[in-house]
Structure 1
Amino acid sequence: MRHCQTLNRVLAGFLLALCLSVIVTLGSQAQEPAAEAGPQPYEMVRSLQSLQEQIAQGNSHAIAAQRELLSKMDAAFVDLPAGTWEEPRNARAAVVHLLSGGHPRVMRNLLTLDPLPNIDKRLMEASLAYIEGREEDMAVLLEEIDPLDLPSGLGGHVALVKAAPYIRTDPARAMELLQVASLLMPGTLVEEAALRREVFVAGMMADVDRFRVLSIRYLRRFRSSVYAGDFRRRFALALDTLGFVKSEDKFALLNPVLHEFDADSRRGLYLRLARSALLAGHLNVARKATAEAMSLAVEGTKEHEILKIYRAATRLDPETISANRDLLWSVDKRMLSEQDLAVLDGVYVVLNSVRHFPEPPANVIGEFNVASSMKDPEQRAWVTSDMELAEVILRRTDKVLAELGEQHDR
């Protein structure tokens, strides 16, 4: 395994060096106009795509190299003679260049040529419309163009951008186009981007099975991608909409996916699920998510303190009163946000309701010290912060007890 990783690094370094050599060559040609003709546009695009494949595999240095190569290509493409674009491969390269981050002035210049580059004019105009944010115009221009009828290196890009307007209006159609993009350009940044969007669309469609399959595929193919952070963000948002916290069976479906993440990401996702389940009242799921997160949390961190609260909240029964009391008293409140403190308050309220149901006797922990409600500043001078917290909790107790009383009557 270690030898394979070393080989991959060497190969990535070789490809990066090769692409950088193209950049240097383009730079020297810009300084020496009389020099021998350099690489053709389609050859430059190949170098660009090699860099993008490295970006998809997590090579952050390739981003800077890509930026520099694109800049060199912008200048070179504008200066190339019109006859260059009569070669179909070069004409396609111009569209790919723009959709890969090239400057739109290149395409604007090509659209003024007579004759035009040897490619469907709609593809040129559509790529320019997409880059300029005119998605409606782009959709109209591409409506009759099937990405599968194009060479794969261009068709994948076209399928990816053609899907964009449909994500909100017709998610099923968007999913079809994104699948085509992945099919036409496997292992490339186009497939990486398409998979990220597919996960988002599956979440919108509430398609749990597809969401799980696509997430696992992305993580196994592109977990190191420079853009994996965007995937994790989209994944977390989808968790909130797909209802994984509503039942233990549904939560169990998610576990294999979460175990594809690195430990840090997995801990954060379980923490998010535990909180959502707890606030929604699904205590069995909250208990399981909390246990998973606790096994990954580092003692003494804010996350660990929060998880103590969640753990106590999921086992509010008479048999665990003493253990919960000790656990909650061990929480370092200085590390908590206002929202976390509010959850802690709520747990204390329910804990005392269970302990003293149906009503807490006077002057015990369930009711706290009545002196904490005194308003005179001089009388309150001796009141501790814990007693002030107790006063806040006391104001919330009546509502909780009333609800418990109603359940008891039923």
Structure 2
Amino acid sequence: MAIRRLSLCVLLSGLAAFAAGSPSHAQSVDETLEPYRMLRSLQFVQDTVIRGDHSAADMQRFMLGTIDERLRTADPKIFQDPRNVDAALIYAMSGGNPATLELLVARDIEGNFDNRVSDALRKYLTGKGTLIAKTLGDMAVEYKNAKIGPYLALVAGNVTLAKDPAAALKFYDWARLTAPGTIVEEAALRRSLAVAVDAKIVDKASLYANGYARRFLYSPYASQFADLFVRFVVEHYDVLKPADIDATLGYMDIDRRREVYLRVAREAAIAGRKELATMAADQAKLLSGSEEGADALAKLYGSLVGVPTENVDDAMAVLMNIPEDALSPRDRALRQAAETVAKEVLRKPEPAAAPQAPPPVDAPQAGEAVEAAATDQELQDPFAQPQAADAAPGEAEVQPAAAESGTPPAEQAEIDPELRTFVDAGRSKLDAIDDLLQKEGP
């Protein structure tokens, strides 16, 4: 790590001196720099960032801009060197300006660029990659031993994912195995975990989660990994072994481990998974030490699952003893939802009358939404699947129909979906009890 930091400092100082020089000197130096050499610096900086040195993030943006300018002003003859062609393609796949690749291909009258690759990448970068998924897959196989191989494999995985998750996993595996320790491996591992969780491939998901935690825990994209891991544990706890969870969390420091357990406890409580919520809350308490806020959250999440049960009185006693200032607005709203469910549990049924819907939860205002759980500010993922130009932002987000939840549309827009899940789960149990009493009669 010390050697890496020293190398980064040398790189930064050299580029700073280059940027601070006179315009004429900068221009002359710029014209002598080969794009493939500049790309190596970009790759070094990107790999430094995903290993945890977030101070290099600004240099990453600077390098992308510098390479972009160099490629745009370069003499077309320099692309007679295949290394510079590869550099241009890798730059485009690493978060570079797609318009620059368009420009270079338009100027290429000597056929230095493989038109099949450049055309496929241009479609991918404009959000039309799924239309040429097979083409990109074939190219990834053809170029698998070339410099652009790992990047093409990653791109092929992205566009293959929608129709063939198993094939996408193979592309991601190839990408990470041919570019170990790089930003390519980090992105491939993160995406592989998402695929395995969605496809319910528990053994592979455990393997990917363990590999990510071991190698890239301090990446600026690690909050995405944490989201996936929490979801993985909550959805598959019934078949997961505690050792599998401990193996991944064992790479984390105490603070991160406690945060993950708290998030697992919260999601499990909302989903009504009592055993998991209790286990995660207990683990979070053990890791809290003297930190009152974390201990309060552990008590909150651990007690929520007891609300719609016969232990409702004990659960609510614990919940109401948690200091108000120890909870975020979102968690205060969650406790309020639990109180609403508790009142319904304790409400005396009226078997002679038709079951009445309980009053809606007094939801927090829209402005009280809690900030994202990620501690570190994330960079834009350079390997994210580009969105189609004709797709409207948020188009895929479908709001639940008011008729399904029984909540008026005006109020439904304000209720946190997680709180609605918790309240609806409690109401479903109460409705079942009321139906049973109705059948038995007075």
Q: Is the 8 A contact 2:140 2:156 kept in 1?
A: no
Distance 2:319 2:20 in 1: 65
Q: Relative CO higher for 1 or 2, CA cutoff 8 Å, sep ≥ 6?
A: 2
Aligned: 1:287 with 2:287: no
Q: Is the 8 A contact 1:270 1:293 kept in 2?
A: yes
Mean alpha-carbon deviation: is it higher for 217-226 or for 121-130?
121-130
**Secondary structure at 1:71 match in 2:** helix
* Cα offset, 1:169, TM superposition: 1.8
* Cα offset, 1:253, TM superposition: 3.7
Q: Is the 8 A contact 1:19 1:50 kept in 2?
A: no
Aligned: 1:121 with 2:115: yes
Distance 1:64 1:182 in 2: 25
- 2:60 alignment counterpart: 66
Aligned: 1:297 with 2:292: no
Q: Is the 8 A contact 2:344 2:430 kept in 1?
A: no
- 1:337 alignment counterpart: 332
* Cα offset, 1:294, TM superposition: 1.7
Shift in CA distance, 40/348, structure 1 to aligned 2, threshold 3 Å: same
* Cα offset, 1:296, TM superposition: 2.6
* Cα offset, 1:157, TM superposition: 0.7
* Cα offset, 1:231, TM superposition: 1.8
- 1:38 alignment counterpart: 32
- 2:11 alignment counterpart: 18
Aligned: 1:9 with 2:2: yes
* Cα offset, 1:28, TM superposition: 5.3
**Secondary structure at 1:118 match in 2:** coil
Mean alpha-carbon deviation: is it higher for 291-300 or for 81-90?
291-300
* Cα offset, 1:31, TM superposition: 3.2
Shift in CA distance, 149/293, structure 1 to aligned 2, threshold 3 Å: same
Match of 2:166 among 164, 172, 180: 172
Distance 1:142 1:162 in 2: 5
Deviations 1:73-106 (A, max 9, x none): 1111122212110111111111011112222232
Q: Is the 8 A contact 1:160 1:190 kept in 2?
A: yes
Shift in CA distance, 62/94, structure 1 to aligned 2, threshold 3 Å: same
- 1:386 alignment counterpart: none
**Secondary structure at 1:161 match in 2:** helix
* Cα offset, 1:189, TM superposition: 0.6
Distance 2:240 2:76 in 1: 63
- 2:229 alignment counterpart: 235
* Cα offset, 1:277, TM superposition: 3.7
* Cα offset, 1:333, TM superposition: 4.6
Aligned: 1:79 with 2:70: no
Shift in CA distance, 64/342, structure 1 to aligned 2, threshold 3 Å: same
**Secondary structure at 1:92 match in 2:** helix
Distance 1:26 1:92 in 2: 25
Code of the residue aligned with 1:53 in structure 2: it is: D
Distance 1:134 1:202 in 2: 24
Distance 1:320 1:137 in 2: 55
Code of the residue aligned with 2:172 in structure 1: it is: L
Shift in CA distance, 147/338, structure 1 to aligned 2, threshold 3 Å: same
Q: Is the 8 A contact 2:273 2:305 kept in 1?
A: no
- 1:270 alignment counterpart: 261
For normalisation by structure 1, the TM-score amounts to 0.73
Code of the residue aligned with 1:160 in structure 2: it is: L
**Secondary structure at 1:206 match in 2:** coil
Shift in CA distance, 28/266, structure 1 to aligned 2, threshold 3 Å: same
Instruction: Report the structure, 1 or 2, having the larger helix content.
Output: 1
Q: Is the 8 A contact 2:214 2:251 kept in 1?
A: yes
- 1:368 alignment counterpart: none
Shift in CA distance, 29/232, structure 1 to aligned 2, threshold 3 Å: farther
Deviations 1:255-276 (A, max 9, x none): 3323333333332332333344
**Secondary structure at 2:43 match in 1:** helix
Distance 2:47 2:312 in 1: 56
Distance 1:182 1:342 in 2: 44
* Cα offset, 1:64, TM superposition: 0.9
Q: Is the 8 A contact 2:30 2:70 kept in 1?
A: no
- 2:369 alignment counterpart: none
Distance 1:43 1:50 in 2: 11
Shift in CA distance, 267/344, structure 1 to aligned 2, threshold 3 Å: farther
Shift in CA distance, 312/194, structure 1 to aligned 2, threshold 3 Å: closer
Q: Which runs of 5+ in 1 are unaligned?
A: 1-7, 359-395
* Cα offset, 1:306, TM superposition: 4.1
- 2:51 alignment counterpart: 57
Identity %: 27
Distance 1:345 1:300 in 2: 29
Q: Is the 8 A contact 2:202 2:236 kept in 1?
A: no
* Cα offset, 1:151, TM superposition: 4.1
Q: Which runs of 5+ in 2 are unaligned?
A: 350-426
Mean alpha-carbon deviation: is it higher for 134-143 or for 191-200?
134-143
Distance 1:182 1:401 in 2: 50
Code of the residue aligned with 1:73 in structure 2: it is: I
Mean alpha-carbon deviation: is it higher for 109-118 or for 47-56?
109-118
**Secondary structure at 2:33 match in 1:** coil
